[in-house]
Amino acid sequence: MPLKKVVLDVLKPLKGPSVVEVAQVLSRLEGVSQVVVTVNEIDVETTTLTITIEGSSIEFDAVRESIEGLGGIIHSIDQVVASSS
């Protein structure tokens, strides 16, 4: 079943790409129609983000690789929606 929505708790380096860049990179992935990035906490070295990705057929491996490519790590997967339609 294709993934329609994924909500992730992500840690990214403070000196890494901006949240705008994170959203832009993820929104370019195939099957993604919307990305919402919310800053939850800013530490001395990291930023904690909630990233909500919606689309017709989200490839989780591509999402994970993109986040890791930006220097981030997925701390937890907080919500997943899959649908056959």
Residue 1: predicted pLDDT: 84
**What is the arithmetic mean of pLDDT over 69-73?**
97
**What is the arithmetic mean of pLDDT over 67-74?**
98
Strand pairing category for 46-58 and 32-42: antiparallel
Say which amino acid occupies 35: V
- Two tokens, residue 26: 């993820």
CA 64 to CA 73: how far, in whole Å?
Answer: 8
pTM of the model: 0.95
Residue 84: predicted pLDDT: 84
pLDDT in tens, 20-41: 999 999 999 999 999 999 999 9
Question: What is the span of the domain harbouring residue 12?
Answer: 3-82
Q: How many domains does the structure of the chain reveal?
A: 1
CATH of the domain at 39: 3.30.70.1340
